[in-house]
Chain A
């Protein structure tokens, strides 16, 4: 199974950068019954039902590995179903259908929830069993037909002998060596041409610069060939009768077959999700009716793969309204946004997520705006792009994530715009989460504030490179409660980092003076 998007609402690069496309590859399993699955954003009620079913299936399934192995053997019937409908099923389609019905019953016996009463399909299997030998993949024949087959074999030997006789007769008549039924070309001045023209055994047809010598098979050969063809017709008609009989029987069960097939496809998809969930240590989200997002050890695989054992999973709890994240440069704010976007996006598609636990509402929409230097394609500046992002109202239940809110304009306007938007979103039924460098926004009432944990200042004694700094970053989010004023001193960390890495002594001294105050 290959998972694909029906539509990717954000741009494809974002999907690649955040690793959604790569994540979907985790679910690639070669299962013929479900070659592709096109994903789309699920509505709230569909997603809720889907996760509920998945959770229930997860609890009630004991032999997932065995079920997966059996599911891999389920044949694809997409090409067979039109034949069933038109009563034109062929031998290959019949075998595929038979295998499906058998495997489906085998699976139903393992599934505790499956109803064991499909007697009508068992009857159909029994009926097919009469006529096909599944071990050989062929239609069975009776003694009469076997006798006819034997006769055909004998006739073929005779035809071979008579073909040789025909070749000899040609040679006698024309002194031309021919191997029946292969045609031959001769030049117009060929010595045997006159004889060829006279013999009733051959004819010539002009072919470019040459003459093509073709056969007029004699009666002794055509008679035996026609006898063989008659016998072949008997066989064909015998098998056709069987096929027609079965096609009719199958047609009568079309509805129940289609129902079982669709049900099995749906179940196979769910099993694949559960199987891969266990294989890759993912979890199913717990769905909350209230707008919220609470994750324990949430993972963004693209960053985890880069940082390996230094990767710090995300722990955060967000609720309805405006949520704001402060933090020093390089502290991992953008990664927090990307992780939330990634996890929310997966939830909107109905997939398991990489986390220890995720409690979330089903987002009606997931939107993210990351820092950019503008877009040439849309002829917009970075500010223009940000305004474009906010130009339409977000649907109720949306998760909206913005990196460096209104950092794209001058700080005075940026601060004012941030305050206006945060106040507005705080009263809307959306989950708005942004990072910002404007400490003034803490004055907004009932704002949920978060901050990236600061790096231990002692590390500046030991670190040499920016990479060392990154390796010592805690990458942890803390909820800001009580005294919020220290957020206003946020700039100190940036000054400390700058002082440590800038070589110019004069600038270093000036930064030190600024830090001291």
Chain B
């Protein structure tokens, strides 16, 4: 394990049981020798679930563990924690406080929404602790959570329903797990040539850049002419943004194309008629370390979702997995 190791939790949808999974993994950690920091992207662990009209599980920070939350979330808890660091503007949009819980402390975690803010917090934590695990309550909407700078390991929470929209979200999340990772040579090439704001890079087999753009790929008017011009060549297209229906419709007729996705959170394709998974080859820039899948099954009906093999699957609401918490 790295000196600073981040375990990220992602839910396919609202009420997918992400906080339950978070609490489960946190409980399983027991009392580790290394420090633990709880961090969230946006608000998490809220009391009231307005959608389902019931109390959601709160997050209880264990005695001596650390957590980051927005200063207003500490209201009424004065004296029950130690303040380690206050993160303030200009690097942060709100005031976030890194604290140590003096006793078991129920807390609503509210962390920053931007990648740079999370990186700044990670930078401080990395310097402050000798060895530390961060449990990051992530958000599927923030694609940056999948970047190697942010997360080292993932847990997915999937909401299994009969609603097509929800099934589509799960499939988009699961499908990229089957993609191969690019070769070391190509990965180094992309990393060398990629600036933070670049959205698309097209290059050929000899690793010569054909096209590079800062435009959001699905809005980029120059993309299609570039693809047409190079249609007969074997080329790679690297995307650092959402793979939408519109973009997929543009890309899939180019059979010589290999698509490289920056992360597994990018696929936002719905069940469009033309969609065929194997029309063009898709690769991932980074390998995903998926440590577990948590299911929240709203239906007893069988679904056509194929979960990846060799990844532990839990349904905390039905199975005996919780036994592990008591160990």
A contact residues vs B (CB 8 Å cutoff): 1-2, 30, 32, 35-36, 75-76, 78-79, 90-93, 95-96, 136-139, 141, 149, 152-153, 156, 164, 177, 179, 182-187, 208-210, 212, 235-236, 238-240, 242-243
Contact = CB atoms under 8 A, between A and B. Distances in A.
B298 A90 contact: no
Given A93-B71, A138-B79, A138-B81, A156 B104 contact: yes
A78 B92 CA distance: 13
A243 B76 CA distance: 10
Contacts of A212: 317
> At the interface, is chain B mostly helix, strand, loop or mixed?
loop
Interface string B293-327: 00001111100000000000000111010110110
Contacts of A2: 90
B78 A179 contact: no
8 cross-chain pairs, A with B, having the tightest CB-CB distances, nearest first? A239-B79, A137-B83, A35-B90, A179-B322, A35-B89, A91-B78, A138-B82, A185-B317
A137 B66 CA distance: 13
Given A95-B86, A156-B104, A239 B320 contact: no
Interface of B: 20, 63, 71, 74-84, 86, 88-91, 95, 97, 99, 102-104, 297-301, 316-318, 320, 322-323, 325-326
Given A138-B81, A141-B79, A184-B317, A75 B86 contact: yes
A164 B89 contact: no
A92 B88 contact: no
B82 A136 contact: yes
Nearest to A179: B322
Nearest to A214: B54
B70 to A, nearest CB: 10
A238 B320 CA distance: 42
Nearest to A96: B86
Contacts of B63: 153
Contacts, number: 101
Given A92-B95, A138-B81, A185-B297, 10 more contacts: A30-B91, A32-B88, A92-B71, A95-B83, A138-B82, A164-B326, A182-B322, A208-B299, A209-B301, A235-B79
A91 B69 CA distance: 14
Contact of B90 (A36, A186, A208, A238): A36
B317 A183 contact: yes
A135 B20 CA distance: 35
A236 B298 contact: no
Contacts of B99: 137
B225 to A, nearest CB: 25
A1 B90 CA distance: 8
B88 A149 contact: no
B90 A90 contact: no
Given A79-B95, A153-B103, A183-B317, A91 B326 contact: no
A35 B95 CA distance: 13
A238 B86 CA distance: 24
Contacts of B322: 179, 182
Contact of B318 (A76, A179, A184): A184
Nearest to B317: A185
A139 B79 contact: yes
A240 B99 CA distance: 18
A187 B79 contact: no
A302 B186 CA distance: 36
Given A182-B322, A209-B299, A92 B74 contact: yes
A92 B300 contact: no
